[in-house]
Amino acid sequence: MLDFNKKYSLKRSSGKRVFFTMCDIQLRSPMLRKINYTFIILCSITLVNCVYKYEPDISKYENILVVEAELSNLPGPYEVKLSRSFGYGQKNGSPVCDATVKFMDKTGLEIPLFETNEGIYQTIDNSFQGIVGKSYKLHIEIDDEIYESDFETIKEPIPIDNIYWEFKKIDNNRGIDILIDAHDSNNKTHFYAWDYEETWKFHVPFNNYDLFPELEECYKSDRNTNFITTSTTNRNNDIVKGHSLKFITEEDNRLYLRYTILVKQHSLSEPTYKYFKDLNELNYNQGTLFDPIPGPLSGNIENVSGNNKFVLGYFFVSGATEKRIFIDRSELPLNYYPTNGFKECKRHIFEIPADEIGNNKSDGLFPNENEYRRIEPKIDSLITQENFLIYKEIIPAQSFPFYIVYLAKPACYTCTAHGTNVVPDFWVEKEDN
Site for other proteins in 153-192 (CB under 8 A): 169, 171-172
Q: Which residues of 302-331 are buried (b: 16+ CB within 10 A; e: fewer)?
A: bbeeeeeeebbbbbbbbbbbebebbbeeee
Q: Please say which residue, 133 or 287, places its beta carbon nearer to other proteins.
A: 287
φ, ψ of residue 404 in degrees (nearest 5): -110, 125
Contacts to other proteins from residues 251-270, by CB under 8 A: none
> Does the footprint of other proteins cover residue 53 (CB under 8 A)?
yes
Q: Which of 10, 11, 47, 418 is close enough to bind other proteins by CB under 8 A?
A: 47
Q: Please say which residue, 164 or 400, places its beta carbon nearer to other proteins.
A: 164
Q: Please say which residue, 53 or 127, places its beta carbon nearer to other proteins.
A: 53
Phi-psi map region of 82: left, alpha, beta (phi>0 left; psi -120 to 50 alpha): beta
> Does the footprint of other proteins cover residue 225 (CB under 8 A)?
yes
Q: Which of 107, 186, 236, 335 is close enough to bind other proteins by CB under 8 A?
A: 236
Residues in CB range of 6: below 8 A, 6 or more apart: none
User: Cα 42–280–275 angle (5° rounding)?
Assistant: 135
DSSP 8-state class, residue 211: T
Contacts to other proteins from residues 128-147, by CB under 8 A: none
Residues 207, 214 contacting (CB under 8 angstroms): no
SS3 (DSSP) at 148: strand
Q: Which of 44, 122, 244, 339 is close enough to bind other proteins by CB under 8 A?
A: 44
Rg (CA), the chain: 27
CA-based nearest residue to 341, from 167, 205, 175, 212: 205
Q: Which of 10, 77, 79, 86 is close enough to bind other proteins by CB under 8 A?
A: 86
φ, ψ of residue 397 in degrees (nearest 5): -115, 170
Q: Which of 223, 377, 385, 425 is close enough to bind other proteins by CB under 8 A?
A: 223
> Does the footprint of other proteins cover residue 117 (CB under 8 A)?
no
Q: Please say which residue, 138 or 215, places its beta carbon nearer to other proteins.
A: 138
Name the minimum Å distance from CB 152 to other proteins: 16
Contacts to other proteins from residues 281-340, by CB under 8 A: 282-287, 289-298, 308, 310, 312-313
DSSP states along 376-417: -HHHHHHHHHH--EEEEEE--BTTB-EEEEEEE-HHHH-GGG
Report the alpha-carbon distance of residue 157 to residue 244 in Å, rounded: 20
Name the minimum Å distance from CB 203 to other proteins: 23
Residues in CB range of 301: below 8 A, 6 or more apart: 67, 138, 140, 147, 148, 149, 311, 313, 314, 315
Amino acid at 104: M
Name the minimum Å distance from CB 123 to other proteins: 19
Name the minimum Å distance from CB 31 to other proteins: 6
Name the minimum Å distance from CB 145 to other proteins: 17
Candidates 146-154, 160-168, 273-281, 387-395: pick the segment binding other proteins (CB under 8 A): 273-281
Name the minimum Å distance from CB 400 to other proteins: 46
Name the minimum Å distance from CB 140 to other proteins: 16
Name the minimum Å distance from CB 43 to other proteins: 9
Q: How many residues bind other proteins (CB under 8 A)?
A: 90
